[in-house]
Structure 1
C-alpha cells in the first residue's frame, strides 16, 4: 500500500496510506498529487508532471507549472518574451456581410 508524506502549515508531518493517486514528482516530494504541470511541450501536449499544492505554481487561472518549467516561464516573461509574442498577434478578420 502506498504512503504519502504531507506537511502541515505549522511544520508538522503526517503520513497518509492508501491508494490516493500519484505522488508529487517535484523535488523528491512524497505528497499526494492534485495537479499536473500544464507547460506546453509540443504537439499539443503538456508536461503532465504530477504536483502537490506546494509544487504546483499557478501562472494563470487553472494553469499550473512545475518548479522547472516555472523557471523557464519566468525567464521568458522577464526577458520581454510575452510582450514580443503579443505584439505579433493578428486580429481575426470579422465578416462584414450580414445574414438575411
Structure 2
C-alpha cells in the first residue's frame, strides 16, 4: 500500500511520518486490497487544546473511505482514525464475502 503524508501549513518530523506509515501498514491485515492512503495533518489556529486534525483517506477498488478526527496530539488522532478505518474495512470485506 502506498502511504502519502501531507502536512498542511507546518513541517512534519520524521518520527511522526514513521508512526503514520507503521500504523497504516497494519490496516492491510484487515483488507489486503487497499490501493493507497492519503493522510492530511493540519493544525488549527485556535485557543482550544484539541487543535490537531487528521484526515485519513483510504482508496480501495470501487470505493474511497474518509475519516476526520481532531485531538490533542497527531498520534492520538491517527490512532483513532485508523481504528475507524479498520471497522469500515472489516465491514467492506464482510459485505464482499456475502456477494460472492
Q: Could you tell me the TM-score, scaled by structure 1's length?
A: 0.28
Q: Which one has the bigger strand percentage? A: 2
Q: Which one has the bigger helix percentage? A: 2
Q: Which has the higher contact order (CA 8 A, sep 6+)?
A: 2
Q: Could you tell me the TM-score, scaled by structure 2's length?
A: 0.28
Larger radius of gyration: 1
